[in-house]
Amino acid sequence: MTTKQSLFVIINPVSGNGKGKTVWQQIKSKLNQNYTIQFAYSNYAKHEIEITKTAIKNGFRHFIIIGGDGTLNNFINGVFSQNNIASSEITFGVLPVGTGNDWVKTHGIPKNINKALQIILNGHTNTQDVGCVNYLNNQIPNTYFINLAGVGYDGLVVSLVKDKRSYGKFTYVLGAIKGLSNVKLFDVSVVVNNELIKYSKCFIIQIGIGKYTGSSMQLTKQPNPKDGLFDITIATHLTKWDVIRNLPKLFNGQIVNHKKVITFKTSNLQFDFEDPKPLIQADGEQLATSNIELSVLQNAIRFYC
């Protein structure tokens, strides 16, 4: 008799406006046929971090995340903030029930739950990079991201759509429109490869690992989730009208060719922001407002794909 693999399932009951619970009920019996399962609902924001750390401590190495990009981000933060085992020993799969679900798009994981589940059951895996955010001159522990971090405009949009997922796939578009009226340009000194460059009147900075953000926008040039490099986009002096005029280019990736947009790749960079400091987001989760250093952990996590 073969023993079934142990699997831990994390379900966010509020992501995608509550779709996670229904999906869990639908797939529970199928998973039980293939695995020995334990599961937990996240009961409050960021609860996934503690759930993940406890499950790892209890011996689980395989996970399914039923949620959106934020749930996945918190799971990743659970994996990378524990010291019991190396992240390379963990494998996760995602059943995307969130609002944006941008991470799965990079890897071609379908939004159809049965198809996404079949990918996990097939057992084929891949690895990708993870980003680490170190808060400078601050006691806050490092945070991690797996898709994309952003500063300025998209940090603002994330703060505006927080707890307002009831508009479904239009949530981010509505947040983006509202954000245009409130956005404040910021000044920053960026340290890359020991060189300091000052950028004034920044509209947005993107630090990409994955390809998509804000529910299918493409704001970075050539992101490769395995190359050990962030794909950086910095847009300066952009106006509200520049954004509105170039709306299709935000979705087809052509915005990186705009004359007010700079792109480059690096594995490490530091941001020293002038006051008032801009808002920062990672994988759609709000981060602390602070000067930060970002570095890549290359191919540090394994997932079903």
Ligand X SMILES: Nc1ncnc2c1ncn2[C@@H]1O[C@H](COP(=O)(O)OP(=O)(O)OP(=O)(O)O)[C@@H](O)[C@H]1O
Give residues in contact with ligand X (CB under 6 A): 12-16, 42-48, 67-71, 74, 98-101, 165, 284-285
Nearest-approach distance from CB 70 to ligand X, in angstroms: 2
- Both structure tokens of 300: 């540090």
**Residue placing its CB nearer to ligand X in the complex, 103 or 273:** 103
- Both structure tokens of 165: 């997922």
Q: Are 138 and 288 in contact (CB under 8 A)?
A: yes
**Residue placing its CB nearer to ligand X in the complex, 146 or 202:** 146
Residue among 152, 150, 147, 156 nearest 177 (CA): 156
**Residue placing its CB nearer to ligand X in the complex, 98 or 179:** 98
Nearest-approach distance from CB 140 to ligand X, in angstroms: 17
Q: Are 97 and 68 in contact (CB under 8 A)?
A: yes
Q: Name residues whose C-beta falls within 8 Å of residue 242's C-beta, 6 or more positions apart in sequence.
A: 258, 260
Nearest-approach distance from CB 76 to ligand X, in angstroms: 12
**Residue placing its CB nearer to ligand X in the complex, 74 or 128:** 74
Nearest-approach distance from CB 290 to ligand X, in angstroms: 19
DSSP string over 76-145: HHHHHT--SS-GGG-EEEEEE-SSS-HHHHHTT--SSHHHHHHHHHHT-EEEEEEEEEEETTS-PPPEEE
Nearest-approach distance from CB 54 to ligand X, in angstroms: 15
Three-state SS at 175: helix
**Residue placing its CB nearer to ligand X in the complex, 152 or 175:** 175
Nearest-approach distance from CB 283 to ligand X, in angstroms: 7
- Both structure tokens of 25: 């009920």
**Residue placing its CB nearer to ligand X in the complex, 46 or 178:** 46
